[in-house]
A and B are shown apart, each in its own frame.
Chain A
Amino acid sequence: MTGNSDLRELYQEVILDHSKRPRNFGRLEGATHHADGDNPLCGDRIHLELEMAGDRVKDVRFEGQGCAISTASASLMTEALKGLTRGEADALFHKMHETCTGQPDVKAVATPADADVDIGKLAVFEGVRQYPLRVKCATLAWHTLRNALAGAHVPAKTE
């Protein structure tokens, strides 16, 4: 059928795999940071828990429900975060934002040189660029992460 080739850009195998079998799904014993994310218009909801060891992410898990894009994004995020420092996690947030929108995050503060991280697997979200209405799905987990690390108690939203 028409259009399925571009659709595959959005629904890449890695995304479908992570949406069906999300990694690091569940609650985290000994979490030091947590936050909720909620896109009520979509019906996407996420609860994120992190265990920080000093400045580093020791462990991270999430729970929630959402579309394939938002679930895969949360799952891939948890994989990418383990072992990163706050600075690196923040740098990855900005890279993810740029990947999904094709635009640098205007609110980004200069990333310290030592906090440079590779986008790695998250590059699969480049397909989201063609779907402006779905950017909010792909970035919900990341905004929730930011709130968790900032100790914010208001649910993150991207819509």
Chain B
Amino acid sequence: MNRHADNLARTTAESRRSRFDVEGVRADFPILNQEVHGRPLVYLDNAATSQKPRRVINTIARYYESDNANVHRGVHTLASRATFAYERARGKVHTFLNAPDMHQIIFTRGTTESVNLVAQSHGRSTLKAGDEILVTEMEHHSNIVPWQLLAEQTGAKVVVAPVTDAGELDMDAFERKLTAKTKIVAVVHVSNALGTINPVKEITRLAHGVGAVVVIDGAQATPHLKVDVQDIDCDFYAFSAHKVYGPTGIGVLYGKKALLEKMPPWQGGGEMILSVSFEKTTFNELPYRFEAGTPPIAGAIGLGEALDYISGFRHEDVVEHEQDLLAYGEAALLSVPKLRIVGTAKEKTGLHSFVIDGVHPHDIGTILDHEGIAIRTGHHCAQPIMTRFGLPATARASFAIYNTRDDIDRLVEGLAAVRKMMG
């Protein structure tokens, strides 16, 4: 392409993106083009899982149709293509997180497995009785239970930092709970139940002040925020592909090299070794030491494509679009009688959790489904924060780049149907 054509293409692309052509975005997601119960689908359950753009689906299909082979084994052409594509995906994650080195990117099954890896490898090899693991009240079960298991194994204690009525981390209380005993601080970047964005950079700075290692659950952050692990300075960062327009079954753990290098393997098998004899096994280098067995190759390649897709937008445009949905959604929801939004943090992204007096969230969910609207109802795998707010469950509408103000209007219309049905 000559320079003029190149510039023209770039300008066209930019102008399309700066207006944020949401209809164009919607056309990228084949699943959105369907009716549910006779109404066009409104998908507002993105915090559970996002939909996948056609190019991610096609990339996975193409991989299986033309390149499928095992990685890092064999010398044939397909093995070489598969290995190259798999490692290229790692490179894309490296860029996406602004990690210093590609070898600090470990592929896992998802955020949950990433957190368990840190707990069982780093945690188990370093914690002792009396040490403390500091979590927050707004954690997902996947950032609570692995630490409870670790506490049982080591005699360490899980300590909980409370959340304010607005659903923000109580930073004063957090600081008070941070002591010389604190060895690990495990915090969610964006709460899946409340939408709160936690000040992870400040949390990391404070935690490092007492010498604690910081683990961040980024499952809900990566679809909405620009994550820079070097700027945050966290020790570990975990996320799942399927919430950021990629496939299920693949996730990432980023770790600081000095820590990863000291960590013992946590699963044994092929791929993670250099040599095996019955006398002695030498473990492979980073990151392969933590990727025992055949990895989810197609998943990693799909994730790489999803990151390319999301990186193709100007981040400012994505933020502007999603913040517009959040603000419009808040005003629209608050117009519904007897509706209360749970989680009113100043810094929020991606979702609104809500309850309606006298109507259980599950009834809301069933009735909205009849209107073609998919939302999540329940405790969102975050029971402690539900307990904190005295609620058994909430309804949650969560947004992605392909959602529109029309989707929110349909939601509000649907909630009127809920009121009509339930009286």
Contacts and interface: CB of A to CB of B under 8 A. Distances in A.
Nearest to B393: A43
B383 interface: yes
Contact of A2 (B38, B360, B362, B391): B38
Given A11-B421, A43-B360, 12 more contacts: A2-B372, A3-B38, A16-B423, A20-B358, A42-B378, A43-B378, A45-B392, A65-B392, A66-B360, A67-B363, A131-B366, A134-B362
B37 A10 contact: no
Given A2-B38, A43-B361, A43-B393, A68 B370 contact: no
Interface of A: 1-4, 6-8, 10-11, 16, 20, 40-45, 65-69, 71, 131, 134, 137
B379 interface: yes
A7 B39 CA distance: 15
A42 B37 contact: no
Nearest to A17: B423
List the 9 closest pairs (A to B, CB-CB), nearest first.
Answer: A43-B392, A43-B393, A67-B360, A3-B370, A67-B362, A2-B38, A3-B37, A68-B363, A67-B363
A129 to B, nearest CB: 14
Contacts of B9: none
A71 B360 CA distance: 10
Contacts of A66: 360, 392
Contacts of A69: 362-363
Nearest to B367: A7
Contact of B371 (A1, A8, A20, A71): A1
B417 interface: yes
Nearest to A6: B370
Interface in B344-365: 358-363
A142 B397 CA distance: 32
25 contacts: A1-B417, A2-B37, A2-B370, A2-B372, A3-B39, A3-B371, A4-B421, A6-B370, A7-B421, A8-B421, A10-B366, A11-B421, A16-B423, A20-B358, A20-B423, A40-B383, A41-B379, A43-B391, A43-B392, A43-B393, A44-B392, A65-B360, A67-B360, A68-B363, A134-B362
A40 to B, nearest CB: 7
Most buried by A among B38, B370, B371, B417: B370
B422 A42 contact: no
Contacts of A137: 362
Contacts of B360: 43, 65-68, 71
A1 B37 CA distance: 11
Contacts of B358: 20
A134 B366 contact: yes
B363 A43 contact: no
Nearest to B38: A2
A155 to B, nearest CB: 14
A2 B421 contact: no
A134 B370 CA distance: 14
Interface in B70-109: none
A62 to B, nearest CB: 16
A68 B356 CA distance: 13
B422 A7 contact: no
A49 to B, nearest CB: 21
Interface in B153-177: none
